[in-house]
Amino acid sequence: GEDVEQSLFLSVREGDSSVINCTYTDSSSTYLYWYKQEPGAGLQLLTYIFSNMDMKQDQRLTVLLNKKDKHLSLRIADTQTGDSAIYFCAEIGGGFKTIFGAGTRLFVKA
């Protein structure tokens, strides 16, 4: 079936790197996405990666994709208190249906 799984919580110190992991099930997914949600707000697209790529870097964000293991990760370098939020991994499943994980709650300690 279709499922995207993420660890629920991650706590890091300000200035450290954060790594948020995700596993997905649909091997036909063309794009995989990372979204950020702050309290009371909608989802903000952070980055995406095309399925034929292994890595994508965008400023402090690095996305790694292991298509064989269906594993996606998001690394945030030099994590700041403003990065505290919920991070969602998402894939496009059959048709145009987007499947989201339950989200990883990132806590950044000053």
Q: Which residues bind other proteins (CB under 8 A)?
A: 4, 30-31, 33, 35, 41-45, 48, 50, 88, 90, 92, 95-103
CA 77, chain centre distance (Å): 14
In the complex with other proteins, which residue's Cβ is closer, 10 or 90? Answer: 90
Toward other proteins, which CB reaches closer, 65 or 103? 103
Q: How far is the CB of 16 from other proteins (least distance, A)?
A: 25
Structural contact between residues 107 and 9, judged by C-beta atoms closer than 8 angstroms: yes
| E strands present in the chain | 4-6, 9-13, 18-24, 31-37, 43-50, 55-58, 61-66, 71-76, 85-92, 98-100, 104-109
The CB-of-57 to other proteins minimum distance in angstroms stands at 17
Shortest gap between Cβ of 85 and other proteins (angstroms)?
A: 13
User: Which CB sits closer to other proteins, 41 or 55?
Assistant: 41
Shortest Å, Cβ 110 to other proteins: 25
Q: What is the dihedral of CA 71, 14, 9, 70, to 10 degrees?
A: 0
Nearer to other proteins, 62 or 100 (CB): 100
Residue 4 bridge partners (DSSP): 24
